Amino acid sequence: MTLLGWIIFIVALLFSIMLHEAGHFATAKKFGMKVTQFFVGFGQTVWSRQKGETEYGVKAIPAGGFVKIVGMTDLEDVEPDDEPRSFRRQPGWQRIIVLAAGSFMHFALAFVLLLFLAVGIGLVNSSSTTIGVIDPCVPKSESAASCVKGDAKSPAVKAGLRIGDKIVALAGRPVHTWAQLGTAIRAQPKGVPVAVTVQRRGHRLTVHPSLAAIPGRKGSYLGISPAYLFQRAGPVRAVSYAGSEFGQIVAGSVKAVGSIPKAIPELFAKNRGSTAGGQVSSIVGAGEVTGQAVAAQVGWRVKITVVLSILISLNIFVGLFNLLPLLPLDGGHLAVVIYERARAWLARLRGKPDPGLVDMRKLLPVSVGVFALLVGFGLLLIMADLVNPIHLPQ
């Protein structure tokens, strides 16, 4: 099942890459620019096919993709017949649209998946206090991925609680929502029996588990998780949900990008998963978490929700990151075009000719330096995901 999760993630990632490049491709074609290549991957060509003036294909390393538009910068030699259709000769607004189209496709895909979650799968209603998962053991730490030999049984297992039990009272006080129940559990003293009243098959019974403690986690631990109840949303509710979630993920992604400078020491910390910087992950980490989600002992709706949530967050993060004003990212090229147009506007105000294109030779050292930093940080993330992976909570 973990392997299946990896396959799902890789296929979804390649689809996302194709959409990104399709955004550049479609808008460039729309504006009459000459596009000579559309490839998924890098390195040696595995398969390609020529159709019209464009070569379509797949390369050996599935770590990205590219669309080759003639005359992207002033450094490229272009045939005289192709110069009128080169990227650099088109109006600034058209070049901006082409450059931004890749990130737009990531955002559009994320929004469509959010709508699908709301309409097709349903939104999670966690107001019920029905038990959906019972943890078999007391984890040795907050980040422990699974039980190992020697771990103590969880208080829920010892007390005989069952999946499907609805907890109606704890310590003699009624509870009506899972949030209330969680707060009540954490507030109880550790190691002291507490009355837990459940409704099971139309009958009420009370058990008295002694709550445990998990190192690094505040409050007591019973070892239960809610039964996820899904309610499909109507069109208006779905759009409202998608917009709200999209905004929250954007805010979280911006925070994640801002935490990158301090992320390095947290990547190898024992409590990596509970730190903001430590949760920055590579595609290896995202694939591993997807595999864990597919292999988890939960219902299919929960699995789909978790997997799609990972893909939604990844697409929004990549879309935003790609817009950073740093060469060789699309955002860096956008910044160059905007600078060119602003410089041309100021020149017109002063009655001077358009200065033309930016001399990209002066920016090459910056571009190479940023690329080296991105590759280095990416390799560091992969290493952290291999030796100190993030695990889904049990």
Half-sphere exposure of 118 (CA within 13 A, CB side): 20
- Annotated catalytic residue: which of 21, 266, 288, 340? 21
* Burial category of 56 from C-beta neighbours within 10 Å (exposed 0-12, middle 13-18, buried 19 and up): middle
Q: Please compute Rg for the chain using Cα positions.
A: 26
266 is catalytic: no
Q: Output the CA torsion sign for 211, 213, 218, 224.
A: negative
Return the structure tokens found at 20: 């990104």
Asked if 218 contacts 186 with a C-beta cutoff of 8 angstroms, the reply is yes
> Residue 151 carries which DSSP code?
P
Q: How many whole angstroms separate alpha carbon 63 and alpha carbon 17?
A: 9
Characterise 231 by phi-psi region: left (phi > 0), alpha (psi -120 to 50), beta (else).
beta
- Nearest residue to 316 via CA among 80, 66, 91, 16: 16
Question: How many CB atoms are closer than 10 A to CB 392?
Answer: 16
Question: Contact 195/206 with Cβ under 8 angstroms?
Answer: yes
Bridging pattern class, strands 229-231 and 203-207: unpaired
Residues annotated as catalytic (active site), given as ranges: 21
